[in-house]
Amino acid sequence: MTHTAYPQSYYAASANPVPPRPELTGETDTDVCIVGAGYTGLSTALSLLENGFKVSIVEAAKVGFGASGRNGGQIVNSYSRDIDVIERTLGPKQAQLLGQMAFEGGRIIRERIAKYGIQCDLKNGGVFAAITGKQMDHLEAQKRLWERYGHTQLELLDAKRIREVVATDNYIGGMLDMSGGHIHPLNLALGEAAAVESLGGVIYEQSPAIRIERDANPVVHTPQGRIKAKFVVVAGNAYLGNLIPELSAKSMPCGTQVITTEPLSAELAKSLLPQDYCVEDCNYLLDYYRLSGDKRLIFGGGVVYGARDPANIEAIIRPKMLRTFPQLKDVKIDYAWTGNFLLTLSRLPQVGRLGDNVYYSQGCSGHGVTYTHLAGKVLAEALRGQAERFDAFAELPHYPFPGGQLLRIPFTAMGAWYYSLRDKLGV
């Protein structure tokens, strides 16, 4: 069997040391078998283990191989569609439940980091940056909305204040969320995996799930082994493939690209982002960036629908970085990589149950770092018989992409082109 290694990213190059993990061979049994050792799977496992379940995870590659170990590393609250959209489409009761949960993922991350002593360069503070007056109006409305749901660590930034936070002329204002922030995402996943094992959970790497027998006692098959379980949690997200065919029509893998500079001098790093906050702009196809623990600038943006790997990531992202920070024109790029996230048509997560005992959560649509940590807690509650919060997500309506498998990519790309044109025109 071919062993899958991490992509050549800055995160893989600066990862904390980890023990080798076995491949699944032969037959074993457990209470809950989780497919996927990314944030959703690891968070679910931790919540279950803390409540006395026996848990095994099968992972096709390595812990945090997918989006969990490749993302921008930003703790961003709420969902890809904000709570006001849920209020308008689903009514006050469901919106109230989902709204109360919208800020929980970041709290769970910080609790885990503290409880299990995870070294992952946690910094507090995230900024949403407005390029146009319309975007600033949206941030003012978002602040009122979030405060209505009890989220109060927010500050609107005028043109002068945002220049004190980020050294660029691109923005007219913004909003600072002090409960946002940033982390080394792969080291967070590796720390959570160590916590899973410290509680007696077992993680099998290089063990892709190739088939699930969905019977009264489901069985997860890998190339060399199988696990009998009482419950299965499917947490493969954009890397699930066609393991659950009925889920693949309602979601689409998308690629996003990230570059990392060489280490910057302490003086230059502090001049770019004086408070060391992370930043994302308010465009439909947004740019996002932050400083790493060793003072590199990590800059991401762009979306490739259908998750093809573009030939030259640096050529796509470096010009975006220089539009924000022309002062970096002579700085070398040390790493460039891509990672996939899973997009749904509604941009809201897909959560549900297949039969009585196969549960799933997927489709964070770009807001995965916080949502996945919440999802793990909510899935664990459902397996313990407390389904109210699970049902609030499970009842979200989801539709197949127009045009089926063949045409979903061009149709979605056309939609993105339209919205990004609106961003450019400021309408």
Same domain for 143 and 55? no
Mind listing the pLDDT tens digit for each residue in 354-378?
999 999 998 766 678 999 999 999 9
When divided into structural domains, the chain yields a total of 2
Same domain, 157 and 257: yes
Average pLDDT, rounded, for the chain: 89
The token pair that represents 225 in the structure block:
């082994």
CATH number at residue 243: 3.50.50.60
φ and ψ at 342, to 5 degrees? Answer: -110, 125
pLDDT(419) > 50? no
Range name among 63-72, 106-115, 247-256, 301-310 with the lowest pLDDT average: 301-310
Asked if the model's pLDDT at residue 310 lies above 60, the reply is no
In a domain, 76, yes or no: no
Q: Which residues neighbour 362 within 8 Å (Cβ) at sequence distance 6 or greater? A: 40, 234, 235, 236, 237, 238, 240, 247, 251, 342, 349, 350
Task: Give a yes or no: residue 138 inside a domain.
Answer: yes
- The length of the chain is 427
Give tens-digit pLDDT for 11-44. Answer: 999 999 999 999 999 999 999 999 999 999 999 9
Question: Please, which pLDDT band fits residue 406 given cuts at 50, 70 and 90?
Answer: very low
Extended strands (E) in 163-242:
173-182, 202-204, 211-213, 219-221, 225-234
The answer on 139 and 260 residing in a single domain is yes
* pLDDT tens digits, one per residue of 149-185: 989 999 999 999 999 999 999 999 999 999 999 999 9
Lowest-confidence pick of 95-99, 114-118, 212-216, 267-271: 95-99
Res 303 pLDDT > 80 = no
Identify whether residues 61 and 174 lie together within a single domain.
no
Residues 60 and 140 placed together within one structural domain of the fold: no
Cα 411–416–422 angle (5° rounding)? 130
pLDDT computed for residue 400 by the predictor: 66
The answer to whether position 99 is within a domain reads no
Q: Same domain for 267 and 133?
A: yes
Nearest to 362, CA basis, from 22, 162, 67, 114: 67
Residues 335 and 422 in one domain: yes
In a domain, 29, yes or no: yes
The answer to whether residues 256 and 190 belong to one domain is no
Residue 407: the pLDDT is: 47
Regarding whether 269 and 223 lie in a shared domain, the answer is no
CATH number, domain containing residue 139: 3.30.9.10
The verdict on residue 159 lying in a domain is yes
Q: In the structure, what pLDDT confidence band is assigned to residue 401 with cuts at 50, 70 and 90?
A: low
State residue 338's pLDDT score. 87
Residue 280 lies in a domain: yes
Question: Are residue 282 and residue 387 in the same domain, yes or no?
Answer: no
pLDDT band at 10 (very low <50, low <70, confident <90, very high): very high
Structure confidence at residue 418 (pLDDT): 42
228 inside domain = yes
Shared domain for 389 and 256, answered yes or no, is: no
Contacts of 414 (CB under 8 A, 6+ apart): none
Question: Looking at the structure, do residues 195 and 317 belong to the same domain, yes or no?
Answer: no
By residue range, what is the domain housing residue 155?
A: 125-181+252-343+405-427
Does some domain include residue 260?
A: yes
